[in-house]
Amino acid sequence: MGKDAAIFDPRDPRCKRPYGAVPSGTRVSFALRPPRAEGFSRAFLTARFEFWGDRTVTVPLPWTGWEGDRDVFSGELDTGDYVGLVWYSLRLEGLDGRSWQWGEHQLTVYDGGEEVPPWFGEGVTYQIFPDRFRRTVIPDPAGMVGGRTVHQSWDEEPEYRPDGHGEIRNRDFFGGSLAGITEKLDFLAGLGVETLYLCPIFEGAENHRYGTGDYEKVDPMLGTQEDFAALCRQAHLRGMRVLLDGVFNHTGFVSRYFNGDGSYPGLGASQSRESPYFSWYRFSHWPDQYESWWGIYSLPSVEEHDPDYREYIFGGEDSVIRRWLRAGADGWRLDVADELPDDFVRGVHRAARAEKPDAVVIGEVWEDGSSKIAYGVRRRHLLGGYCDGLMNYPFRNAALNYLLGGDAADFMEEMETLRENYPPFAFYSAMNSLGTHDTPRILTLLGMGSPCQEQTRDWRAAHRLSPEQRALARRRLMAGAVLLMTFPGSPTLYYGDEAGMEGFEDPFNRRTYPWGKEDGELLAWFAALGELRRTLPALRRGDIRYLLARGPLLAFLRTWGGEGVVCALNAGEEEAVLPLGLGGTAEPLLGPGALSRGEDGAITVALPPRSGCALRWAPERPEEAPAGAEK
């Protein structure tokens, strides 16, 4: 007998309850439903508790009745006080020796006692690369660490050719500042932004500042701690929160801790074994051979198990984590979270909650974070008390594939796998995006179809979309924006995507914001979608139910309080009519969709090629609303 979803489907409540991940202590119900004609007489569930040393238990599933022409074998798995992954398999046996096997499947068991603030996943997040967003004056780099240069014209190209070490030095600055961000808060509010995610703001020699020079100091080109506090105050007045980027896996070569070039007055680890920071680093041959992040000499790796380093980052009341929350921040995004030890992440989380009970910690993970293995260790990111959510690169990858001609069924399957594996708090607090500072600009990808790595770097630096490519990319992006803004999790805009910025990989994806040269139609589209996200509870908190996922056609329903919002997309090259399978009433919210009724009376929507729309939906009677566990 082959694999039969009618016998067991973990997403079917007749086969497994509750849906998806469960809090510790839950008794999970399982049921197998084989055809009676197959003659199976016994059923078993085998569960392997990975974080309990792979302890395995076998649970009999006795015959409990029948449904139509199917037998039903059912029983319960008690998760007890376990927190971690359970890998379960199912087996049917017949008196004649026949058997049916359903291979290992993941069950995530998390700490349900951990309260996760819901605010992050409800509204729009805006990611800012501070040096490139907005400057108020052309700064003078004299006296600043790193041998910096400053572009006099805001419209110049960033430097991209490598230095003698084969690395891009990233020492060219444009002078974006915290005051510049504060100046544009009303503009961001007009986009519906509720969270500002700032790439690193601490002193650092490079324009990206991912090589931290001093965790206690705002980079002087960005401003001062007072400027940061003012930004937070003004953001809070507008209902926005501020998320900082914490880079704790490595520091800068140019830093008060390593002090590789002697820029700082104290003794760094590279200068003396007596340095208070010497134990923070891993030297194979002091002082010139040391571990660094991905072998990049300018980013020496830290020893995250060092007690002094831990105390400095999260241990005391005046630790880095707590002092910047006191200064006005509302949470942290952890750079390369899967390269940090689990107990380090837990320490960061505890410190953040101790300082500010509604602070959030979001981790950078590029895969399904529920089962991620890094450096041979299964990570605990989403088990409660570690990360409250993760950067959702799986969403980006699936959305990009779909918008470029992939099957909507694949998008649905990848997202439903996440929904099944992630605790609800993590699924609804995911940082969803179409682009970040680590990916090519989404408009460029949607116009070119690929990152064009086969071309030279000089070619990619100079290339711009042709008018035809840009027109195609804009249509795809407008459809993708509907998907982004209506999907569960926080829709995250990378600065300038809403303005039509282009560019391949770093640093071409980090050009300056085109103030005064924005794509007005794209801006208006994103602003309208942001308003929907800000005002509609179904988009902020609602469950998701897929209505259609076939070829280029995708539609899903978000429901909350008896009302809902339908997201419908046609990524294909021809006009299409999408049968939504819904009764009730619908009205357009945004986009080109034309509503009608099919022969069965159900709602249909006609969409032009490469377009998307949002519809308000209500059932005829409240009890007719689609079933589903609301957030």
Structural domain includes residue 1:
no
Measured CA to CA, the distance from residue 410 to residue 189 in angstroms comes to 34
Measured CA to CA, the distance from residue 495 to residue 244 in angstroms comes to 15
Angle between helices 467-486 and 393-403 (to 10 degrees): 130
* Mean pLDDT computed over 492-503: 98
> Is 335 a known active-site residue?
yes
Residue 431: which residues within 8 A CB-CB, separation 6 or more? Answer: 125, 197, 333, 362, 389, 390, 391, 392, 489, 490, 492
Q: Are 624 and 614 in contact (CB under 8 A)?
A: no
Q: Are 469 and 447 in contact (CB under 8 A)?
A: yes
Tell me, yes or no, whether 32 and 151 share the same domain.
no
Angle between helices 467-486 and 520-535 (to 10 degrees): 10
Tell me, yes or no, whether 146 and 132 share the same domain.
yes
3-state secondary structure of 288: coil
Tell me, yes or no, whether 281 and 356 share the same domain.
no
Residue 494: which residues within 8 A CB-CB, separation 6 or more? Answer: 127, 433, 434, 435, 436, 437, 441, 442, 509
Domain boundary among 535, 553, 579: 535
Tokens of 500: 């039509």
- What is the percentage of the chain residues whose pLDDT exceeds 70? 98
pLDDT bracket for residue 143 (50, 70, 90): very high
- What is the DSSP secondary structure assignment for residue 326, as one 8-state letter? H
Which among 549, 545, 554 is positioned nearest to 483, based on CA atoms?
554
Domain boundary among 489, 504, 535: 535
- What is the percentage of the chain residues whose pLDDT exceeds 90? 94
pLDDT tens digits along 553-581? 999 999 999 889 999 999 999 999 999 99
Structural domain includes residue 361:
yes
Tell me, yes or no, whether 620 and 473 share the same domain.
no
Looking at residue 164, its pLDDT comes to 74
Which of 194, 338, 364, 543 is catalytic? The answer is 364
Looking at residue 627, its pLDDT comes to 45
CB atoms within 10 A of CB 569: 30
| The pairing of beta strand 360-363 with beta strand 373-374 | unpaired
CA dihedral 229, 231, 235, 240 (to 10 degrees): -80
Structural domain includes residue 356:
yes
pLDDT tens digits along 3-51? 577 899 999 999 999 999 999 999 999 999 999 999 999 999 999 999 9
Measured CA to CA, the distance from residue 471 to residue 443 in angstroms comes to 10
Measured CA to CA, the distance from residue 349 to residue 68 in angstroms comes to 51
Domain boundary among 535, 555, 587: 535
pLDDT bracket for residue 167 (50, 70, 90): confident
> Is 364 a known active-site residue?
yes
Tell me, yes or no, whether 490 and 426 share the same domain.
yes
Q: Are 252 and 212 in contact (CB under 8 A)?
A: yes
Tell me, yes or no, whether 366 and 404 share the same domain.
yes
Tell me, yes or no, whether 292 and 314 share the same domain.
no
Measured CA to CA, the distance from residue 111 to residue 423 in angstroms comes to 9
* Mean pLDDT computed over 575-589: 97
Structural domain includes residue 10:
no
pLDDT tens digits along 60-114? 999 999 999 999 999 999 999 999 999 999 999 998 888 999 999 999 999 999 8
Looking at residue 630, its pLDDT comes to 31
Tell me, yes or no, whether 550 and 421 share the same domain.
no
Structural domain includes residue 333:
yes
Statement: residue 631 has pLDDT above 50: no
Residue 71: which residues within 8 A CB-CB, separation 6 or more? Answer: 33, 34, 35, 36, 40, 63, 65
Measured CA to CA, the distance from residue 45 to residue 55 in angstroms comes to 14
Tell me, yes or no, whether 479 and 523 share the same domain.
yes
Measured CA to CA, the distance from residue 211 to residue 521 in angstroms comes to 37
Residue 181, φ and ψ in degrees, nearest 5? -65, -45
Q: Which domain holds residue 292?
A: 250-302
Q: What average pLDDT is seen over the chain?
A: 96
The pTM score is 0.96
CB atoms within 10 A of CB 366: 16
Statement: residue 625 has pLDDT above 90: no
Q: Are 481 and 396 in contact (CB under 8 A)?
A: no
Counting beta carbons within 10 angstroms of the beta carbon of residue 500, is it exposed (0 to 12), middle (13 to 18) or buried (19 or more)?
Answer: buried
Looking at residue 277, its pLDDT comes to 98
Which of 122, 172, 335, 519 is catalytic? The answer is 335
Q: Specify the number of domains making up the chain.
A: 4
* Mean pLDDT computed over 233-255: 98
**Residue 138 CA to its chain's centroid (Å):** 34
pLDDT bracket for residue 165 (50, 70, 90): confident
| The pairing of beta strand 431-433 with beta strand 389-392 | parallel
Q: Are 183 and 136 in contact (CB under 8 A)?
A: yes
Structural domain includes residue 162:
no
CB atoms within 10 A of CB 24: 17
Measured CA to CA, the distance from residue 290 to residue 301 in angstroms comes to 8
Q: Which helix (H) or strand (E) holds 419?
A: helix 408-421
What's the distance, Cα to Cα, between the start and end of the chain in Å? 38
Say which CATH number the domain at 489 has: 3.20.20.80
What value, to the nearest 5°, has the Cα angle with vertex 202 and ends 197 and 205?
Answer: 120
Tokens of 467: 């008018």
Q: Bridge partners of 566?
A: 557, 615
Tokens of 484: 């982004």
Tell me, yes or no, whether 572 and 446 share the same domain.
no
Tell me, yes or no, whether 451 and 520 share the same domain.
yes
Residue 362, φ and ψ in degrees, nearest 5? -115, 130
- Write down the H helix ranges in 497-578: 520-535, 537-541
* Mean pLDDT computed over 514-531: 98
Type of residue at 351: A
Tell me, yes or no, whether 581 and 530 share the same domain.
no
Structural domain includes residue 164:
no
CB atoms within 10 A of CB 375: 8
Query: Half-sphere exposure of 397 toward its Cβ, with a 13 Å CA cutoff?
Result: 11
Q: Are 349 and 386 in contact (CB under 8 A)?
A: yes
Residue 188, φ and ψ in degrees, nearest 5? -65, -40
Statement: residue 256 has pLDDT above 60: yes
Structural domain includes residue 275:
yes
pLDDT tens digits along 283-294? 999 999 999 999
Looking at residue 629, its pLDDT comes to 31
Looking at residue 241, its pLDDT comes to 98
Which among 190, 194, 186, 198 is positioned nearest to 239, based on CA atoms?
194
Q: How far is CA 490 from CA 208, 289, 380, 599, in A?
A: 24, 42, 21, 37
What value, to the nearest 5°, has the Cα angle with vertex 217 and ends 215 and 219?
Answer: 105
Say which CATH number the domain at 72 has: 2.60.40.10
Measured CA to CA, the distance from residue 245 to residue 332 in angstroms comes to 6
Looking at residue 249, its pLDDT comes to 98
Which among 629, 490, 631 is positioned nearest to 119, based on CA atoms?
490
Say which CATH number the domain at 594 has: 2.60.40.1180
* Mean pLDDT computed over 440-454: 98
Looking at residue 96, its pLDDT comes to 86
